Amino acid sequence: MLVYYNVDSNEFKRESQFSSTPAEVNFIFHAPSDYSDIASVTYGYRWFGTVYVDDDFTIPAGKRVTVNPGTAIKVSPGKKIIVNGTFELLGTSSEPITFDKNGSSNWYGIVINSASGSSSRIEYATIKNASYGIYINGASPEIYDTKINNCTYNVYISGGSPDLARNTITYAGMHGVYCTNASPSFSPGTAYGDNVIRENEEIGIYAINNSSVFLGIVDLGGRNSIYG
């Protein structure tokens, strides 16, 4: 049985019983393969504890999933989190949110689509062992104070204008950041973006197809460079 915690009424309910209040996922939770019931929830859900994503998980347009500090999210091989609404990762420096594979093979990644716009925010998270750590498809999320490592592509940006600051992007199997027809800013609001992009197998920041990259100050090293 899929059980959530209703913050307002202080009781546990089945997924289908929610109508208009946020809900917190109970400590250990397996995300269902069919998450259509979220469409009947006015606000969205809140995750904490340990969350297992066994199949592709979609946040519909207009809906929100918020992740508490210290939450561990484990994703099955090849599966992805698809964001058409809002995905808020609200980690802290002492309690980061972690994403990792649940099995021997990589998971697919977090896919933030254009329908999400600029509403999603990733803050103090660790994302690793995916094909695409964060795949941005025409969206403009904010990504701050996050470690993205050991993915085939740590960050893949196809269109959109994401803001990235104070991130550590390392040990990709290919490029650290891949940009195509995109306009990312690595120092939003300041000349000091303080992103560290090092030790990726190919290029640190690879920008093609009319991409416009605002760098500010970026620490590139360990075989890494900028192409574009």
pLDDT digit of tens for each residue in the chain (228 aa)? 344 444 444 444 444 444 444 444 444 555 554 444 444 444 567 888 888 888 898 888 888 888 999 999 999 999 999 999 999 999 999 999 999 999 999 999 999 999 898 999 999 999 999 999 999 999 999 999 999 999 999 999 999 999 999 999 999 999 999 999 999 988 755 545 688 889 999 999 988 888 878 776 565 555 555 654
Global pTM reads 0.82
Q: DSSP letter at 39?
A: G
Distance CA 141, CA 167 (A): 14
Q: Which two tokens stand for residue 83?
A: 């964001």
Residue 14 falls inside a structural domain: no
Tokens of 135: 């795949």
The answer to whether residues 94 and 121 touch, using CB atoms and an 8 Å cutoff, is no
Other CB atoms within 10 A of residue 50 CB: 16
Residue 135: inside a domain: yes
Residue 37 belongs to some domain of the structure: no
Tally of structural domains, the chain? 1
* 185 within some domain: yes
Residue 32 in any domain: the answer is: no
CATH number of the domain at 127, please.
2.160.20
Task: Round to whole Å and give the CA distance between 160 and 137.
Answer: 7
Q: What's the order of all strands across the beta sheet hosting 86-90? A: 11-14, 3-6, 23-25, 44-47, 64-67, 86-90, 121-123, 142-144, 163-165
* Inside any domain, residue 13: no
In a domain, 44, yes or no: no
In a domain, 66, yes or no: yes
Range of the domain at 161: 57-227
- Convert 168-195 into a string of H (helix), E (strand) and C (coil): EEECCCCCCEEEECCCCECCCCCCCCCE
Q: In angstroms, rounded to a whole number, what is the distance separating the alpha carbons of residues 174 and 59? A: 28
Residue type, 181: N
**Under the phi-then-psi rule, with left for phi > 0, alpha for psi from -120 to 50, and beta for the rest, what region is 136?**
beta
